Structure 1
């Protein structure tokens, strides 16, 4: 009998578009004639929560469980929230804005008797006053966020829009706390999740249920569902896989998780899932499984028959979004920044230009793991074939290429192929700030529909960029980001502070570089990350080489990724968090460029030593 597979994204991930893992796997399993369905419990649970009846239940639950209800203004206006939540969600679901970016690309639309006489100054001014959809979307987002705050504070401490119970799955070296919480009574949020899970089991009658666990904030909800399946569908097998498993569970030895699941697979899921189906159908033995943990005689065993069955990136079929409720996804506008909004606003088809990272040298990165180290590319023709298939299936022309770092050479070929076939899409991707991104290449990418790029600047210090083997310097980053911006391609920079041996001076100088990059319109968006050592990175493997000492956590058989460290040579960087974020918030909104850096902090800082026109001087060369 052929195995029936159900692929599930557990709560919560992005709400404006589907996480791509199940779509990729369904596309692959369909090509192997394996009966496969997929569902996104993340969006399905979210829209069940934010309904008139459920929000009424939320307020009832809050009254029952709390003497002092937090967010009293929400509570006092509960009837307005209850009566209007359905309308707000409907509004956030029905606005397609991705095409607007393409319309605004210079030269995309022809100019005739009306557009040729357009007063640019009046147009810019009018857009600010007449941007009714965006204004309403922002207010609607605040409405939903207020309810989310109320739920988390009064009903379910684990609730968040893009994660659930993340706090107990992050750095969970022991399974103790997770296992303990799984024994607790379910919350009303979890009750709704399990009702959805029951309906999927009834609808699809699967033999194998596979949960993708991309992040720590997906683990607990997946385990809740798995526990439910074990109780109510005892013959159904359960598998976990995805980014969390691939990074955190490489040394798994605690058998207790197998009270809830039967298999945990590592790295790319295509080969292991194909073998699992064959195993369930009794076509192969256990020792023929690939990259799969299971329980044998009470002990965790890793089965990995070699050589593995390899499915090269270039030979994989296009992801398929069949079964997913594409009309239900929600566009949020929580930050009024044109670049920042891309993560939450609009429907984006997810696709990968290349598997892994072509650079794979950064010392803070998990360069030894398969998803980074195993670089595989494909052709522009193959990519555009997949793009055409996805457009035909979804009707959506927005694409987010979710690469670790999209290779410039392939992006050039992709742009040329899109233009050759006259396929007009809107797209954005993650890159390295390579000097290969010349003004000419950036203009070509923009012409093909590129509206934005994201990339790691990390610590804006040439000494530290060299130490982390980033392969760029500040001058190069300035020129490359400027080339993108000059072609009307928005740039988001990932920023880091607290890198090993980073001094107070370097932190403040880094902020000054960021200020100047914003002021010179080289970047339009950014985000600060406090450095964390990971066990799979070169720094985690060789801490002495970077002047730090690892102090924990002690591995207790479950997850291992984030490490605690002491940096005796560096500054106390946690004290900078609030000031760095305050400065960045202003820069994101085009404000504060003339404010002295000291004014962002509530303690005495070291003045910057950098010239005020440093970035401008790089752009003149």
Structure 2
């Protein structure tokens, strides 16, 4: 595709994808490259990253007490600590150091918690202006100067919405842009919209006239056609495949056509200025669309490419060429491969190619447990620079795995864990404790299985099961032992209530399910928390000089008690009022010994108090630093 056209597109990535703070989501870069190859001038705006900066400034401006954040919560502790330790999430050059690999990036994500909106049916109607979160997003867009950001000669505004929590902010963004008086059409697209039913899309288009149309499924070709129409002054979205729009006769939804050949797509057009502001950017390279397995009944990602084959993969040669070009163009060497699950044969050929070409990079990818990922291949992946694999293991219970048509059984899962450990390939393991029909005993057995490999895991993510309407489980719940419930229910991991199927799984009682979730989260916390505690037993000698690790702590007084939070290890401990009074002279970081505490509290009480503080990682050797200004 090298035809010549004209026009200008303004492509925005709106809040809120908190897991992408400190990075650059590739959707606008992929679209921009496709449009630019056809002669369209593109401007990209990463408003999600700007929102993270706005949160940090808001926290500082409110002296660590932003509205809507509970003071005794982890988010409250994060706000207070960041207000006085703002520079901890920036590097020496002032670049954003709050990505997933940074020590304190999770604190910025905690600040974003109150703004994560799971879009339910209310988003299909007019915006509720009374909601505090709406006012907050309006305040952010005003601070971001959206009214002055879109050039007058812009032909089209494209808003990328991959995730559910972006939908409300995207609609508010469309309204604000249209309020400037621009004649450019506003187009929304992305997985969050592709998974919506056409009925819901119709309601959304009726309620939000600032949205001129929606692109469903593969967006490159439809968006190009829409830009060409807008630039030529002949706006006709009804003639474009894969587009939903509101016509004089009501909502119309055009069937999609096949998406582009992935091997023909140009290299993503990452904006240099945006990358230069990130301390450790990861560039994304498309490996496939769809999943080579494509049989997991609870997954709806395979529904995102209607009109195209269920799986489209890249050839190793062009993929390696793109990696080399991105290294040369941007000087970056850290990559993530965009795929639902990297195929073993592709992985083998690409890893050999990276080693043969001398590509000195690190990379990560999603992968599934597959017998073809043998020890030899896993070792080859590690040698080629694989930093980690994200593995949707979910459980180790063979009966349940077969029910939902996963590829592996318990034996294969444990083999995969053992081989990855032995070759030194770190894993991020995703677990779903309560896949359909899982019993309490089975859930705990699976937890024990994975916990045996805890020392070799990079991290663990736990997702309570959620049936989505667009998956096989949601379409045929009775096949999976689920009872449909039309009377309410909480939102789940997809953060997209419009796609939830409310149901009951009688395999566990509510109490059992809650206990299973608690134990899994406790296990995940134990794996994910970095342990920076002093190796030796601090205070073993009664005259050892200790101090509170104040540079890492948030301290909050609650009814005389002291709530201590270590921001590095994520540990929390509540010191009762009587003990807090004993410790008060030392909470600013001044040195003390066990002998001094014993004089104030007695030997046994001092020992218990020190033991609890040590266990929670609140103490360090007094020689490691000076006092800090910590307000209590």
Query: How much does 1:584 deviate?
Result: 3.0
- The separation in 2 between residues aligned to 1:200 and 1:451, in whole angstroms, is 41
Give the aligned partner of residue 607 of structure 2: none
Of 269, 284, 289 in structure 1, the residue corresponding to residue 240 of structure 2 is 289
1:448 aligns with 2:384: yes
What are the Cα deviations for residues 514-569 of structure 1, in whole angstroms up to 9, with x where unaligned? Answer: 222326x4x44322211110111111111121121222379xxx973111102234
- The separation in 1 between residues aligned to 2:89 and 2:530, in whole angstroms, is 29
Give the aligned partner of residue 290 of structure 2: 356
- The separation in 1 between residues aligned to 2:97 and 2:83, in whole angstroms, is 26
Give the secondary-structure state (helix, strand or coil) at the position aligned to 2:139.
helix
Query: How much does 1:78 deviate?
Result: 9.6
Give the secondary-structure state (helix, strand or coil) at the position aligned to 2:502.
strand
Query: How much does 1:24 deviate?
Result: 0.7
Give the aligned partner of residue 263 of structure 2: 314
Query: How much does 1:285 deviate?
Result: 4.1
Give the aligned partner of residue 244 of structure 1: 192
| Change beyond 3 A, Cα 1:466–1:35 | same
Give the aligned partner of residue 168 of structure 2: 220
Of 7, 21, 40 in structure 2, the residue corresponding to residue 3 of structure 1 is 7
Query: How much does 1:320 deviate?
Result: 1.4
Do the aligned partners of 2:414 and 2:449 also contact (CA within 8 Å) in 1? no
Query: How much does 1:45 deviate?
Result: 3.0
| Change beyond 3 A, Cα 1:88–1:371 | same
Please give the residue correspondences for 1:366-515 in structure 2 after superposition, counting only pairs within 5 Å: 366=300, 369-371=303-305, 374-515=310-451
Normalised by the length of structure 2, the TM-score is: 0.73
- The separation in 2 between residues aligned to 1:79 and 1:574, in whole angstroms, is 31
Please give the residue correspondences for 1:36-115 in structure 2 after superposition, counting only pairs within 5 Å: 36-51=42-57, 54-59=58-63, 70=71, 85=86, 88-91=89-92, 94=95
Do the aligned partners of 2:289 and 2:313 also contact (CA within 8 Å) in 1? yes
| Change beyond 3 A, Cα 1:562–1:485 | same
| Change beyond 3 A, Cα 1:187–1:589 | closer
Do the aligned partners of 1:10 and 1:42 also contact (CA within 8 Å) in 2? yes
Do the aligned partners of 2:65 and 2:76 also contact (CA within 8 Å) in 1? no
Do the aligned partners of 1:59 and 1:75 also contact (CA within 8 Å) in 2? no
Give the aligned partner of residue 265 of structure 1: 215
Give the aligned partner of residue 19 of structure 1: 25
User: 5+ unaligned residues in a row in structure 2: which ranges?
Assistant: 489-495, 532-632
Query: How much does 1:588 deviate?
Result: 4.6
More off after superposition, 279-288 vs 483-492 = 279-288
Do the aligned partners of 2:365 and 2:390 also contact (CA within 8 Å) in 1? yes
Query: How much does 1:456 deviate?
Result: 1.4
Query: How much does 1:370 deviate?
Result: 3.2
| Change beyond 3 A, Cα 1:583–1:78 | closer
Give the secondary-structure state (helix, strand or coil) at the position aligned to 1:180.
coil
| Change beyond 3 A, Cα 1:97–1:561 | closer
Do the aligned partners of 2:389 and 2:428 also contact (CA within 8 Å) in 1? yes
- The separation in 2 between residues aligned to 1:69 and 1:585, in whole angstroms, is 21
Give the secondary-structure state (helix, strand or coil) at the position aligned to 2:369.
coil
- The separation in 2 between residues aligned to 1:74 and 1:534, in whole angstroms, is 29
Query: How much does 1:237 deviate?
Result: 1.0
- The separation in 1 between residues aligned to 2:272 and 2:246, in whole angstroms, is 32
Q: Larger relative contact order (C-alpha < 8 A, sep ≥ 6)?
A: 1
What is the Cα-based RMSD across aligned positions, in Å?
3.5
- The separation in 2 between residues aligned to 1:578 and 1:445, in whole angstroms, is 34
Of 474, 498, 522 in structure 2, the residue corresponding to residue 540 of structure 1 is 474
| Change beyond 3 A, Cα 1:221–1:284 | closer
Do the aligned partners of 1:501 and 1:571 also contact (CA within 8 Å) in 2? no
Give the secondary-structure state (helix, strand or coil) at the position aligned to 2:52.
helix
Do the aligned partners of 1:96 and 1:347 also contact (CA within 8 Å) in 2? no
1:211 aligns with 2:217: no
Give the aligned partner of residue 552 of structure 1: 486
